[in-house]
């Protein structure tokens, strides 16, 4: 049995279902991510696992024991809340010590553990500081140290990086990952940020409106999305409604494309922007079309081009290398190729 197992978990508030039939099994030591848009029930599910709320039906197991009705302090879970929830009137040290007092550890033990975890999150010497005198990133690390200090079996992290600037977020992301690997602690990480999910996770569960729509490794989720929602939510993609006849599909705009004979069913076409080829000169290959460059956006590593082919608008991404000549300008004619192997048919 997994370290955390959810069986048919259902939760409603005021008759509105927020978590529907959730079945998940998270392995020991795994870094598992709940990924989904705002309001899809991620925090609710985390609170169900932590024991702050109980489900109307279904069961929660931690380490093989059913904990569905147990209070949080009996579950051996540590949680970092979406807003950190530090005690503002306590110092850094007292915040980290809090759970250890509840565990009735001796003063000596408490001091040793507090120093160990302050050191681990890079806050040695901060013990006497008030948490209100800390930066957002430092507060985030106190929250992490506080949840780790009680040596939980399971660590629950609810969007712990969302309040940080981009640089600090990158730094904390790798700190959390290396800490988690070093301690081997089963971790459930909640985010609505696909990059965070793809870079950190062993596996991801994608949520939509209170349901799990796909579970897989980052590569599986990105390369083989299970439906049109996952394709659109995880990574950029071009999506079009299509009708199929044999190995040909037709977009609503009339464009016809060859698809591989192995394509599954589905009335949506997804093609990632980096899989479309673009040229200033005519291309005479299957699935190639003449279009017009509408717009070009530089975002550092990539150059995004918006291209119109008839009434179809495509987003194309090219790597911004020193070889880029930048010869295409908005208004120019361009030729695009949508290689068969880059096309995926998906269902609703």
| H or E stretch covering 198 | helix 194-200
Is 41 or 235 the residue whose CB approaches ligand ATP more closely?
Answer: 41
For the residues of 107-142, what is the DSSP string, one character each? HHHHHHHHHHHHHHTT-TT-TTSBGGGS-HHHHHHH
CA distance linking residue 62 with residue 75, whole number of Å: 7
- For residue 141, state whether it binds ligand ATP (rule: CB under 6 A): no
Nearest to 209 by CA among 16, 9, 18: 18
Q: Which two tokens stand for residue 129?
A: 């500081």
- For residue 275, state whether it binds ligand ATP (rule: CB under 6 A): no
- For residue 42, state whether it binds ligand ATP (rule: CB under 6 A): yes
- For residue 38, state whether it binds ligand ATP (rule: CB under 6 A): yes
By the 10 Å C-beta count (0-12 exposed, 13-18 middle, 19+ buried), 160 is classed as: buried
CA dihedral 66, 189, 205, 238 (to 10 degrees): 170
The binder of 54, among ligand ATP, Mg ion, none, by C-beta within 5 to 8 A per type, is none
| H or E stretch covering 49 | helix 42-50
- For residue 9, state whether it binds ligand ATP (rule: CB under 6 A): no
Is 91 or 162 the residue whose CB approaches ligand ATP more closely?
Answer: 162
Pick the stretch among 38-46, 58-66, 120-128, 226-234 that binds ligand ATP (CB under 6 A): 38-46
Q: 202, 32 in Cβ contact below 8 A?
A: yes
CA distance linking residue 314 with residue 294, whole number of Å: 10
| Phi, psi (degrees; rounded to nearest 5) at 137 | -65, -40
Q: 17, 210 in Cβ contact below 8 A?
A: yes
Q: Tell me the closest approach of the beta carbon of residue 294 to Mg ion, in angstroms.
A: 37
- Binding ligand ATP by CB under 6 A: which of 41, 78, 160, 291? 41
- Binding ligand ATP by CB under 6 A: which of 4, 22, 31, 44? 44
The binder of 13, among Mg ion, ligand ATP, none, by C-beta within 5 to 8 A per type, is ligand ATP
- For residue 43, state whether it binds ligand ATP (rule: CB under 6 A): yes
- For residue 39, state whether it binds ligand ATP (rule: CB under 6 A): yes
- For residue 18, state whether it binds ligand ATP (rule: CB under 6 A): yes
- For residue 13, state whether it binds ligand ATP (rule: CB under 6 A): yes
Nearest to 154 by CA among 195, 183, 117: 183
The binder of 18, among Mg ion, ligand ATP, none, by C-beta within 5 to 8 A per type, is ligand ATP
Binding mask 198-237 for ligand ATP (x = CB under 6 A): ----------------------------------------
Q: Which two tokens stand for residue 276?
A: 């479309």
Give the interface with ligand ATP as residue ranges (CB under 6 A): 13-14, 18, 36, 38-44, 82, 192
Give the interface with Mg ion as residue ranges (CB under 5 A): 43
């Amino acid at each position: 049995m997994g370290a955390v197992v959810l069986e048919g978990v259902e939760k409603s508030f005021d008759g509105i279902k927020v978590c529907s039939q959730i079945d998940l099994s998270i392995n020991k030591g795994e870094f598992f991510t709940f990924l989904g848009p705002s309001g899809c029930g991620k925090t609710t599910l985390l609170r169900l696992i932590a024991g702050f709320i109980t489900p109307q039906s279904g069961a929660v197991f931690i380490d093989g024991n059913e904990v569905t009705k147990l209070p949080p302090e009996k579950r051996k879970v540590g949680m970092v809340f979406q807003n950190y929830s530090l005690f503002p009137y306590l110092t850094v040290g007292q915040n980290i010590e809090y759970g250890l007092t509840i565990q009735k550890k001796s003063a000596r033990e408490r001091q040793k553990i507090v120093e160990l975890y302050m050191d681990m999150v890079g806050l040695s010497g901060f013990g006497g500081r008030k948490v209100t005198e800390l930066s957002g990133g430092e507060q985030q690390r106190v929250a992490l140290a506080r949840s780790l200090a009680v040596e939980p079996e399971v660590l629950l992290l609810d969007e712990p990086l969302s309040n940080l600037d981009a640089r600090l977020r990158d730094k904390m992301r790798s700190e959390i990952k290396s800490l988690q690997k070093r301690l081997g602690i089963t971790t459930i990480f909640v985010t609505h940020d696909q990059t965070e999910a793809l870079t950190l996770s062993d596996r991801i569960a994608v949520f939509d409106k209170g349901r799990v729509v796909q579970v897989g490794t980052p590569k599986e989720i990105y390369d083989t999305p299970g439906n049109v929602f996952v394709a659109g939510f995880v990574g950029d993609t071009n999506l079009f409604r299509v009708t199929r006849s044999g190995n040909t599909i037709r977009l609503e705009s009339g464009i016809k494309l060859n698809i591989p004979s192995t394509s599954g069913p589905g009335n949506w076409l997804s093609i990632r922007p980096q899989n479309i080829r673009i040229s200033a000169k005519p291309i005479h290959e299957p699935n190639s079309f003449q279009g017009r460059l509408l717009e070009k956006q530089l975002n550092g590593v990539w150059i995004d081009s918006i291209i119109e082919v008839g009434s179809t608008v495509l987003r194309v991404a090219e790597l911004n290398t020193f070889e880029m000549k930048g010869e295409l300008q908005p208004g120019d004619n361009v030729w695009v190729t949508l290689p068969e192997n880059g096309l995926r048919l998906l269902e609703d």
